[in-house]
Amino acid sequence: MQYEKFNKKRRQWEDNGVLELIKLWKVCAYELRTIKRNGHLYVAMAKQLTGLGVPVTALEVHFKVNNLTQRYRQEQKTLEATGIISTWKFY
């Protein structure tokens, strides 16, 4: 995976970029879970997103996928515990 320096500013993802990432993630989800070394998948996803007008790096895609996964699990846990439906737009 192509890693950049960590001293870059944090990327503020726009909603359309997140939605495009989720679409790509849905296509690659099985491979991301089953292949042990999947850095090449994040590079490919970053290239596809850049082609769609969302200029990101593989590292940013990797972190965003992890953050979305954690947030989804948190929302799911809250729903199961309290019964309150999430207002998160990507849930």
Q: What is the CA radius of gyration of the chain?
A: 14
**Residue 1's pLDDT is what?**
54
Per-residue confidence band for 10, with pLDDT thresholds at 50, 70 and 90: confident
Q: Is the pLDDT of residue 52 over 90?
A: yes
Q: At what angle are helices 15-34 and 58-82 packed, to 10 degrees?
A: 90
The tens digit of pLDDT for each residue in 13-50 reads 999 999 999 999 999 989 988 988 999 999 999 999 99
Taking the C-alpha atoms of residue 47 and residue 81, their distance in angstroms, rounded to an integer, is 39
Q: What is the DSSP annotation of 17-85?
A: HHHHHHHHHHHHHHHHHH-S--HHHHHHHHHHHHHTT----HHHHHHHHHHHHHHHHHHHHHHHHH-PP
**Residue 11's pLDDT is what?**
79
pLDDT: which is higher, 5 or 11 = 11
Q: Which of 71, 50, 63 is nearest to 6 (CA)?
A: 63
Q: Could you tell me what percent of the chain has a pLDDT over 90? A: 73
